[in-house]
Structure 1
Amino acid sequence: MKLGKFQVDVLNGGDVKMDGGAIFGVVPKPLWSKKYPFNDKNQVPLATHPILIRTDDCCMIIDAGIGNNRLTDKQKRNYGVGQESDIVKSLAQYDLTPDDIDMVLMTHMHFDHATGLVDTEGHAVFPNARHYIQQDEWHEFVSPNIRSRATYWTSNRGDYELQTILFEKECMPYPGITMTHTGGHSFGHTIIEIESDGQKAVHMADIFPTAAHVNPLWVSAYDDYPMQSIRAKERLTKQYILEDYWFLFYHDINYFAAKFDVDGKTIKETIARPEFQ
């Protein structure tokens, strides 16, 4: 899609399958199953696709996928991995390599977003990029608690740390790109707004992981602070809908982007998620 001066595309970061009850939290299955696909194991398919943003002078990605050759066979089985990342092939479609990425914008550091940051030896997959991460998120990633250590993996640390920029409440890594701390899904969870020439999009990351989660009360059981997620969604989702934002998705298996009608429920326009072979 084109947003003013920004060209926005999708990279193949792999995919996973997670328990539907975990992804939709306390929402009963008879409700969420009408809005999102699932298999006979009650698993829902989720993309883990980084978002590529390009301008004439900068290449950025949002989040990093699940990486390649980074998960054990047990982890692949437990997380229902269908395919791993193929970032190199995806970037090649745009005549780019990982060396051409100038910025990596991390919404949070859970394994399904951060495993693609490093290779099997701990070297940065995007060696020339500045990596922007919310400060509290970084500290919890480095020193997780008894709950969060299952998803903040020490193996995802690497030499990209030498080029990491931390921020607290808000950061503008590039004109028209704003990262804002919301908390909720994790203590340091961040959303990203994109605006250019009057055109607007927002990536609300894992407090709004699929289009089916548009209801402010529909939050994941993986959210460490669900009331923070609900408060942020209650405040922001309505604003973005009324201001005609595109919502960009990292996880939704059907949609890369969607716009909603003012009723806050009806999808009025979509861009389908591309299939990767």
Structure 2
Amino acid sequence: MNKTLAGQLRWCLEALRDQDEAARDFFARKKEWDDLRRPPSKRTYAGGSFSAGAFGIILGVGVLSLRVPAIGALVGFQYPWWLLGSLILAVIGGVVFGKSGAAKKEAQVQAENQRLAQKHADEMKNRGDAVSAACQASRERLYHASKEAQRRGEQCGIHESYLKSGIVQTLLTYIETGRCDTLKEALNLFEQEQREEMRDAADAAHRRAMQQKADAIYEETLRSADAAEEAARSADAAGMLSAAALAAAASKKQSSDNDFRVV
């Protein structure tokens, strides 16, 4: 095992892990800051301005009032006009009560929006500076951690395209297990295994696709065989019926030929 190279890779891997941790902390802080700055969604009143309940009550009262003997005798022959008047009053009542109810609901929604806006303003006032400062601090930490990881990678001779904690850990494993002695050998082995993994994944995907096609063909073959068997059974049944019909017709004809009348 190349102990010098292994030590360099561990040194570089330490910086990369610090960078990963700083990145996770920064994204968490940034999400918290973004969520805090985002204003609350405004509520809207989606109801209508017509009260179906008031319409039904007024119309119902107008119709049921005809069952009162005194009112029934009063309207008499004016019965259709009474229903028409009840319907008009019901429509007017539905509009009036509906607009009144909608205005109250809209006022409640506006009050709720103002309450949420004030709550958001209070949270920004109480926590905004602290959350913003924490987000900025985590951003600076990530910047310095990235610079340090880049510096150590350059000193170890690792190209930036391989400067990831997972890749460097794999290279370190190659060196520690004695599979490679130099960084170049480790990188070549890594690329070779990456190509093999991609090839294996492509082969597996191809096998899955071919298996799906084979399953589809097999199912279609089964359906065709079932259809052919059903057609054959239908044909046999039709043949048997036809033969029976011919036999019955022949028997009837023979019986007709042998009939005679005695005088």
Same fold (TM over 0.5): no
Under a length normalisation based on structure 1, what TM-score does the superposition of the two structures give? 0.18
**Greater relative CO, 1 or 2 (CA 8 Å, sep 6+):** 2
Higher helix share: 2
Higher strand share: 1
